[in-house]
Structure 1
Amino acid sequence: MAEKQKTANCGCKGIRTCLICEENDGKRHLLNTTQSIRCDFTYDPESKLAVPDGEGQSFPFPGVFLWENFVSEDEERELVAKMDQEMWRESQSGRRKQDFGPKVNFKKRRIRLRGFSGLPAVSQKLVDRMTKEPLLAGFRPVEQCNLDYDPKRGSAIDPHLDDSWLWGEHLVTINLLSDTVVTMSLDEGWGEMDQGEVRVAVNLPRRCLIVLYGEARHHWKHAIHRKDIQSRRVCSTFRELSDEFLEGGEQEKLGLELLDIASSFKGVPISN
């Protein structure tokens, strides 16, 4: 099971590192300290503004929805216990993961259904609950990715945009076991703030659900930095299909097949 895996191994490749490979191989992940960062902001979910941490002007920050206490403490224990009964696979930057979704080659735009058996049974009630929210009324996830972050491994995820060829408008994540921060960033600045990177911290309370859509989904990169993992954090991210795989799209037939498999809720994690 997951807790019996050797912690001496990691899944880092290329320039990505974690505390394990940095110690074992002498690697060091050097931050670019010369990069200009003009502004630092914190997202306020009530006003939906990015509020400056110091001097500066707030600005609207659309595309973020937070649902605090989406799951109860009992549900959180059940969800994590179910995850820990399955094998965790080593992933990049000190993370471990479990994938419930099709095998995808994004560079060649190929999808392989073999091994995909659907979302896990324990997630059916979660999907039913989240789709009661008007923003997610039509949300039909076809992939679930569980990630395990631990400060002992230096777990993190670099700033990135999720693929938009296969994955659709809404990225939905349930945050478990600890509070953390997702950092939203624009390399080129925002509005009149065109000198260097702009970052907005979005605080994620334990047991909350976050949705990224619109501007926050397609234009702002998102990251979890090492410094924001203070204790074990587990999350489940759910992704829906893009228009190309929905009714009227070029790959509607494949999309329907993916949806049928996903909605069986009989899934086990796919293997490499």
Structure 2
Amino acid sequence: MASQGVLQNGSACGCKGIRSCLICENANTKLNFTANETPKVSQEFTYNPSSRRAFRCVNGIEESFLFPGVFVWENFVTEEEERELVSKMDENIWRESQSGRRKQDFGPKVNFKKRRVRVGGFCGLPSISEKLVARMSREPQLNGFQPVEQCNLDYNPQRGSAIDPHLDDSWLWGERLVTINLLSDTILTMSLDEGCGQLDQGEVKVYVHLSRRSLVALYGEARHQWKHAIHRKDIHSRRVCTTFRELSAEFLPGGEQAEMGTQLLNIALTFRGVPL
């Protein structure tokens, strides 16, 4: 297991279990940290947002397959809006998180293992997000998107920031995951362990290039079947992202926990929140 390292200001990093960052790796040089960079034999493709296909070139022959469930919106925010967003985030406290990330959470208190959710100190999404949410809703692919949770993440190459391949929870969080990418370009790596379609041998990876100030939404197969990750090697300068999540059907009208869902959504959309 990774033990916590110490930052320059004397505080510990946020790594737990097998997670690690450059801080704790440098502090524990005898340990072999491979959680973020484990090499695997995989079939690698690049996503084309225009055709919505994943493609590669092998021996001069192009191969591709339809890759549904990814929507990319270039230049979702302007340069001025980007500066304002990051400046507002930096006015609040960034808390150390795992794998070299820092975070700010705006959302309910959740125990995913026991499937329990309560309001806790949640008082809404931040005010600066109100215009962003309104803009999203004008896009057909994001029609009716009402986020109930927002998570800001700060990645830095000096900390070895990354996030391992994972699937987001689908008990509380709904169909669409929406992320705004700020300050630098990066690559969102989508992966499927057991292959897909004719590619039934080994791991398949699809690289989704995210430009600075772009928005990416995951839904359908990309949301529920393909894991997503940001690898350390794809963080070249400071990157800040903000991810919005909507409620699952269980918390919407007609669902078993619709009352709780309504309460959470009413709080979220006041846009008066502070990070928890």
Aligned runs of 1:242-257 on 2, under 5 Å? 242-257=248-263
Partner of 1:75: 81
* Contact kept? 2:57, 2:63, Cα under 8 Å: no
Q: Retained in 2: the 8 A contact 1:42–1:53?
A: no
Match of 1:107 among 113, 125, 128: 113
Q: Which secondary structure state, in structure 2, belongs to the residue aligned with residue 58 of structure 1?
A: strand
The number of residues matched between the two structures is 265
Residue 9 of structure 1: how far off its partner (Å): 2.7
Q: Report the Cα distance in structure 1 between the residues aligned to 2:190 and 2:199, rounded to whole angstroms.
A: 15
Matched, 1:63 2:69: yes
Match of 1:160 in 2: 166
**Mapping for residues 136-147 of structure 1, pairs under 5 Å:** 136-147=142-153
Contact 1:89 1:97 in 2 (8 A): yes
User: Structure 2: how far apart are the matches of 1:7 and 1:191?
Assistant: 50
Gaps of 5+ in 2: 1-6
The answer for the alignment partner of 2:45 in structure 1 is 41
Instruction: After TM superposition, give the deviation of residue 53 of structure 1 in Å.
Output: 4.7
> What SS class does the counterpart of residue 63 from structure 2 fall into?
coil
Q: Is the 8 A contact 2:102 2:155 kept in 1?
A: yes
Write the distance in 2 (CA, Å) between the matches of 1:264 and 1:252. 19
Deviation digits for residues 234-262 of structure 1 (CA, Å, limit 9, x no counterpart): 00000000000000000000000000000
**Contact map agreement 1:8 1:20 (CA 8 A) in 2:** no
In 1, Cα distance between equivalents of 2:54 and 2:171: 29
SS class of match (2:151): strand
Give CA-to-partner distance per residue, 1:137-160, whole Å, 9 cap, x none: 110000000000000000000000
% identical aligned pairs: 68
CA distance in 1, matches of 2:128, 2:144: 20
**Match in the other structure for 2:56:** 52
* Letter aligned with residue 51 of structure 1: F
Q: Any residues of structure 2 matched to 1:93-242 within 5 Å, and which?
A: 93-242=99-248
Q: RMSD of the TM alignment (CA)?
A: 1.4
Query: Is the 1:17–1:28 Cα contact (8 Å) retained in structure 2?
Result: no
Q: Does 1:10 align with 2:16?
A: no
**TM-score, length basis structure 1:** 0.95
1:120 touches 1:265 (CA, 8 Å); kept in 2? Answer: yes
